[in-house]
Structure 1
């Protein structure tokens, strides 16, 4: 589910639909992101003090279950171009984020299996062990 918000910019259904399609297309490639919440903020940066082109900025905050949120932000002179750049960057960020989680899980399983193969048994401390002898 993608929620699109506009900042310093008149809301447009076409822009919201384009950004939503780009984000959904990226998230469809990862089955782990099936039930995630994504917020997209589309804004326009136009300085009163500095002349230059207007820059459109698209920012996505992706909340993956059990992990830190993934925040990706891109800007360009065109909203559609900014959303396309953002989709590429979002794919890389989500892939790296999920790969980190898979690698952590793999290392944990290896550590546990190594411990079980060593034949060591965890020391179980009885509750009365610390009590003074009578």
Structure 2
């Protein structure tokens, strides 16, 4: 039985796919819609591309987390994948954007990883907390973009 965490959430946003993808994949916007992300710093010069490295500071389950994501895939307006191998909880984050039938954009946010140590024991709790946080973050993104951000 896998002790991994795999959380996938989605939202439909009443904005064009290019607009949603450009905003969501811009690291400089992360603190505007991710409640738990405190800061993002570029470790490699912009623009965003495969190999770009971004230092994040976040708060999750009452703990301060600092980690560096590396961009693994970037297919503008379709797919964005970044991952970190640091710390007790290596993680991969994937954004997918698809046209929705009503002319908006369906955005899927997926986080998956293989915790080790204590994090492995806490994986079910972490998955539930991540699902709540991701749904809240996607709702914030929807609200921001539909308000014209």
The answer to whether the superposition gives a TM-score over 0.5 is: no
Higher helix proportion (structure 1 or 2): 1
TM-score by length of 1: 0.34
Ranked by relative contact order (alpha carbons within 8 Å, sequence separation 6 or more), the top structure is 2
Higher strand proportion (structure 1 or 2): 2
